[in-house]
Amino acid sequence: MTRLVLLLAISALTAFGGMEAHAQLQLPGATAPTPRGGVSPSSAPSHRGGGVSSASRSSPGPPPRRGEETLPGRTLRFLGQQGSMVITRGGTPAQPVFTIAATGVGRRGNDIRSICTPDLNAGQVVTLTPLGRPDGLSRFEASFPGCTMVIDLLSDAAIVSAPGGACRFTEDCQVDPTGLWGPVDREMPPEAEVERARGAADRRLNAARRTLQQRLRTTPEGRTFLSEQAGFGANRERVCRNYGTTDAGLGYCALKYTEARAAALEARVAATPETQTSRRHRN
């Protein structure tokens, strides 16, 4: 009898354990036991919706240092080849005075093979007149006898224009200083450095261009700006094709004109107020 009772008790306990185990399997959210040394599903890293986030758009970066800080003392050549231009800084840090000595490059009469290289102002320095930063770069005017030049300073070069046209120093010597004055081939930065700087200049230019397009889209200036910007690349190639004596000259010259264009557009952005329409498109 005792043996029969014991067998019945064991059977009841076994049945109860099976029911409990079955009930545990039916519990919502129940999980299987984690093996020793394993990682539970709740603590395992989840990759759903994860992954590496896309890189943010590169910022335009700061502009190059101002030309009035880095350019004095350098010898610049017209198209990186001939003539010379040296700007000197004097005065005090608070009130600097800039002077220039230059030798032009021109031709006699209509013969392009007959070169003349007159010393402007007989080789004597001329004090530069500051004209502010109307297009983002420091601008100066140099008034030589027979020639007036407007000079925009870059970090290691200068863009020159002649408002009165080609300069005449003698009856048979005509000089047109318009263009980029900068280093000769051997003094140019390495190609890799030029490419990095060009990338930074392109980002600055494109950021300013997009902002201006938004602000000018409903103004009469908008169409003119688009046309002007569309022709920039072709004009840059035209004025740079004769810079230097190697292929590196074209890349360096293109960099300088891109930096100048970026500075001009940034100055224009600062002077162009944001309208309600452009603000809505930006948002």
Q: How far apart are CA 130 and CA 18, in angstroms?
A: 97
Q: How far apart are CA 253 and CA 184, in angstroms?
A: 11
Q: How far apart are CA 214 and CA 230, in angstroms?
A: 16
Q: Compute, in degrees rounded to 10, the torsion defined by CA atoms 154, 158, 164, 167.
A: 170
Neighbouring residues of 101: CB distance < 8 A, sequence distance ≥ 6 = 84, 85, 86, 88, 120, 121, 123, 124, 125, 126
Tokens 């040394």 identify what position? Answer: 37
Q: Which two tokens stand for residue 161?
A: 């224009």
The domain locations on the chain are 67-183, 186-282
Question: For every one of its 283 residues, what pLDDT tens digit does the chain have, with 9 covering 90 and above?
Answer: 444 444 444 444 444 444 444 333 333 344 444 444 444 444 444 433 344 333 444 566 666 778 888 899 999 999 999 999 999 999 998 999 999 999 988 887 776 678 888 888 888 999 999 999 999 999 999 999 888 999 999 999 999 999 988 888 766 788 899 999 999 999 999 999 999 999 999 999 999 999 999 999 888 888 888 888 889 999 999 999 999 999 999 999 999 999 999 999 999 999 988 864 555 555 5
| Residue pLDDT, tens place only, 73-85 | 999 999 999 999 9
Cβ burial 61-80 (10 Å sphere, 16+ → b, else e): eebbeebbeebbebebbbbb
Neighbouring residues of 174: CB distance < 8 A, sequence distance ≥ 6 = 106, 107, 108, 166, 167, 168
Neighbouring residues of 179: CB distance < 8 A, sequence distance ≥ 6 = 78, 79, 159, 160, 239
Q: What is the pTM of this model?
A: 0.74
What angle (nearest 5°) sits at the alpha carbon of residue 265, between those of residues 270 and 239? Answer: 155
Q: What is the pLDDT of residue 280?
A: 53
